[in-house]
Amino acid sequence: MTVHTEASGAVLVVTIDRPERRNAIDASAAREIERAWDRLDSDSDLRAGILTGAGGMFSAGADLKAAAAGMPAARTQRRGYFGMIGLPPLKPVLAAVEGDALGGGFELLLACDLVVASQTARFALPECRRGVLAAGGGAVKLPVRLPVNIAMEMLLTGAPQTAERLHMLGLVNTLCPPGGALGAALEMARAIASNAPLSVGAARRIVRHVAAAGEAAGWAMQEAEWDALRASADYREGIAAFVEKRTPHWSGS
């Protein structure tokens, strides 16, 4: 098992445990994440979830080495990318972030409702540096969660952002000392779990509906752009350069 679950009262803590791969997600981990959220949805004693990573790292996103080796994509039939992004749980989920949330790891965070982060956490969407696309929600969701110019900066430069900056911009709800993200997330999740579940569910659905109304066109456009990108020489070059640990040579074709 590379994803562990533990109930802490009414809160289900889901931990990605692949520190040797920087908690990158492969097809097997995606299936385990899906099963964890199925448990959260089906257990009436659970009121909220927390997603975190083991070993002081949130997640580096998709396991590109597995992808380069021809392994199945890190997605499931029902819940989509990383077993979550296409169909998040029905109950509130918090991200507890230590270390880095990169690429698909950052997109996992965007699929959560609230974000608690260590002061030393870093966030990035480096896909443009690898010839790929932030197709797990980064390009679609980020302009909803951040000012458009900041979202554009993250997507086009791939440069890491500090937790402090994203806290000031409203993406990170709570900052805490290093090592304290899970504890702070549990405190917030327990506060949510103590409230009336029907009220919590109604408020969450309304907020998500309003956000999704602005995302629908973006998801449709992304499919066409992503199909074209996957057929390009630069896409193949970016993956190869990452695996071979060298600088990519872009041809623009």
The answer to whether residues 24 and 85 touch, using CB atoms and an 8 Å cutoff, is no
**pLDDT computed for residue 183 by the predictor:** 98
**pLDDT computed for residue 221 by the predictor:** 72
**pLDDT computed for residue 244 by the predictor:** 85
**pLDDT computed for residue 93 by the predictor:** 98
**pLDDT computed for residue 217 by the predictor:** 66
**pLDDT computed for residue 130 by the predictor:** 84
**pLDDT computed for residue 148 by the predictor:** 94
Query: Terminal CA-to-CA distance of the chain, rounded, Å?
Result: 40
**pLDDT computed for residue 174 by the predictor:** 98
Instruction: Give the fold, CATH level 3, of 3-193.
Output: 2-enoyl-CoA Hydratase; Chain A, domain 1 (3.90.226)
**Cα–Cα distance measured from residue 141 to residue 162, given in angstroms and rounded to the nearest whole number:** 19
**Which residue stretches of the chain have pLDDT < 70?**
214-220, 222
**Cα–Cα distance measured from residue 92 to residue 101, given in angstroms and rounded to the nearest whole number:** 20
**Cα–Cα distance measured from residue 126 to residue 235, given in angstroms and rounded to the nearest whole number:** 14
Catalytic site residues? 107, 127
